[in-house]
Amino acid sequence: MSADGALPRELPVVEGALPRELLVVEGARQIRDGDLVIVGTGLPLLAATLAQKTHAPEAKLVIESGVMFPKVVPTPVSVVDPRLMHGAARHGSLFEALGGLVQRGLVRTGFLGGAQVDEYANINSTWVPRSDGSQVRLPGSGGANDIASHCAQVVILTNHEKRRFPDRCDYITSPGFLGGPGERAKAGLGPLRVKVITDLCVMEAEDSALTVTALMPGATVDAVLENTGFTPKFRDSLDTVVPPEPEELRLLREEIDPACVYFPERKPR
């Protein structure tokens, strides 16, 4: 058992790529050239930077702390890391990032994570129950609620574990489709496309329950079912995620995260 209580799972290594590298590469593919994208540190930042270095050189990054359009230097560890501010067009504020851009509907894609994601793509990053009934307090929303409420597309990068995908979130920090189709509109929220990318599959939704649309190379339907707390829908014809190109892996390892900050398993022992 790992330090966080998760049971170990054997995941396929695809042409030398780690499972989490597959998440980053597939996450990068969700960004179009010219998109305005809001990201935090971690895997979303790696994905956005990879997109800029490959197919989306004109994508513009916005950091929740107010950094606008930086030229990121490897490898930031927080949203106030100076390496995340290098070459920025503006060092603004959280108010400018969330109020001036996100809440005005100017940011197309937002990357999010969370402790729980339920079948209607709601996200919990506030608290989860312990086995004894007490609560574990998590970091909370930050800008996640703003992003889920006002961006046109939300991309969630996460490991695929049953505890992360319950039937219903214990708390809704950031709204997906709330209780089901139509409820987002009733709450006064605009349309949203959600894509959840895990180390086993890709799930998508637009005012509906999450549907598995693709499997990661080497993953199976049974593995997805075994590691999901609800029974997801499956598209009739499932795609297989295209493995990373050698150049994508080279960029990720040598230019974007050369010190293996987010992939410590790659460090020489």
Task: Please list the active-site residues.
Answer: 64
4-23 as b/e: b if 16+ CB within 10 A? eeeeeeebeebeebbbbbbb
Q: Alpha helix locations (H) across 31-186?
A: 43-53, 94, 144-150, 183-186
Beta strands 109-112 and 67-68, pairing class: unpaired
Q: What is the C-alpha to C-alpha distance for residues 33 and 57, in angstroms, rounded to an integer?
A: 6
The two three-digit tokens of residue 139, written as one number: 């970091």
10 Å Cβ neighbour count for 87? Answer: 9
Residue type, 20: R
From residue 218, how far is each of 167, 200, 238 by CA, in Å? 26, 8, 13
Structure tokens, 177: 């489709």
Is the distance from CB of 79 to CB of 65 less than 8 angstroms? yes
CA neighbor of 172 nearest in space, from 101, 123, 129, 134: 123
Alpha helices in 10-154 (DSSP H): 19-28, 43-53, 94, 144-150
Task: Match 């506030």 to its residue by tokens.
Answer: 126
